[in-house]
Amino acid sequence: MPETTEQPVSARRYAKGMELYRGGQWLEAATELAALRNLPDATGRMARFYEGMSYRTLGGEALAAGDHDLAGTYFRAAIAAMGREASLPAYLASIFARTGRREDCLRQVEAAAAPGDGQDVAGVLRLAMAQWQAGRRIESQMTLAAGRRKFPAAASLLVQAGLFHAAQDEYEQAKESFLAAARIDETNASAHRYLGLTYAATGALDRAIASFQRAYELAPDDLMLGVQLSLAAKAAGENGCVVRLAPPTPRASRTDELSRLVLEEKDFVESLLALPPSEGDAELFGALLEAVGRALEARPGYADLRLQASRICLRLGRLDEAVRQGRLATQLNPQYAAGLVHLGRLQAQRGRRSEAIRHLKRGIRFGADWADVHCLAGELLAQVGRTAGARKHLRRALDLNKNYTRAADALAALAA
């Protein structure tokens, strides 16, 4: 295909939106990026994420300023844009995962809830839920009670017991279960969330706010907690209470899900590398590189992963590391055409023409019979005075793509 330097409107708009986002102009960034949210490609997907993150920041600022109604509005806008979890790895994993995989997993979990299942905490929960959904509520409560005796340190069993009580409007019993869960595991965000909901249902707004605040501190990426906290604070304010809240500190990115996606989805990294350059590259590709690194820990012999690492490093401007990873890819698979071509391009960027030519010619030999590769090889050969070889590759580029202006111009320059 003929090369062009013209960026599409969507790319320019995405770059502008990310510049506004990085510049702290949250509302302007959200407005700019919202125009791209329906695009079906990676640009649209990432625009939705950073639109949501802009609203998340605005929600936190409104929460801190005491404008709880506005905070709720912004948090709901964030959820509408990117879902309820404000985590880049989790977002990428959710939007790029193969359709149906999670539903299949859910069906498998439900199918595993068979009589006699209760050898571990997860099994107890599965069986209790299956019994509850089948209308056998007394049995489900007995299952949880037996599970609590067997696994007294499992806060999740108490949380589930509390949910069963709350479903039957037994708020006092629900509250006791959630309190017990929080005592066993003070870091259990679900226990504090549901405790907050129970307090809110019984009108104890001050306690609801304290519980929601603690849950949000433990799970700062859960935007629904921001909504619940702002609603409780708004209700308290309408009852004459002065409430001051501070948004929690975002936690470090989690990359385990993302690493699995890198291994399972062949085109995942490619789709992100196709994004137009923007102010968000450091965050996005930094997280992606970490995920690829984790995947390499599990599959150190995968040449494809080394090539992905190299391409991400190049996107981040780490040319030396990109070369190192590219070499590792071609060492793992000496006939890896895409890896050889990539390494040739890297060496050309570094001005190492002879090495670049050698890698490009090997890549062509092992299958990279592509117009752009022949064109680059021809240009490099011309630069080192090997005009016969240069003509051969440039003519082959034009055989493959007769409209390849760059190759035609290079060939004409040799004839001048």
Instruction: Please tell me the CATH superfamily of domain 117-219, with its number.
Output: Tetratricopeptide repeat domain (1.25.40.10)
Q: Where in the chain is the domain with CATH 1.25.40.10?
A: 117-219
Task: Give the pLDDT score at 225.
Answer: 81
Task: Give the pLDDT score at 361.
Answer: 96
Task: Give the pLDDT score at 198.
Answer: 87
Q: Which regions of the chain are under pLDDT 50?
A: 1-6, 98-117
- pTM across the whole model: 0.70
Convert the pLDDT of each residue in 252-277 to its tens digit: 555 567 787 788 777 888 889 989 88
Output the 3-class SS for the chain. CCCCCCCCHHHHHHHHHHHHHHCCCHHHHHHHHHCCCCCCCHHHHHHHHHHHHHHHHHHHHHHHHCCHHHHHHHHHHHHHHHCCECCHHHHHHHHHCCCCHHHHHHHHHHHCCCCCCCCCHHHHHHHHHHHHHCCCHHHHHHHHHHHHHHCCCCHHHHHHHHHHHHHCCCHHHHHHHHHHHHHHCCCCHHHHHHHHHHHHHCCCHHHHHHHHHHHHHHCCCEHHHHHHHHHHHHHHHHCCCCCCCCCCCCCCCCCHHHHHHHHHCCCHHHHHHCCCCCCCHHHHHHHHHHHHHHHHHHCCCCHHHHHHHHHHHHHCCCHHHHHHHHHHHHHHCCCCHHHHHHHHHHHHHCCCHHHHHHHHHHHHHCCCCCHHHHHHHHHHHHHCCCHHHHHHHHHHHHHHCCCCHHHHHHHHHHHC
Convert the pLDDT of each residue in 55-74 to its tens digit: 999 999 998 888 888 999 99
Name the packing angle between helices 121-133 and 155-167 (round to 10°): 10
Task: Give the pLDDT score at 122.
Answer: 83
Instruction: Name 77's Cβ contacts closer than 8 Å, sequence gap at least 6.
Output: 30, 52, 55, 59
Convert the pLDDT of each residue in 148-207 to its tens digit: 899 988 888 999 998 888 888 888 898 899 999 999 999 888 899 888 888 888 888 888
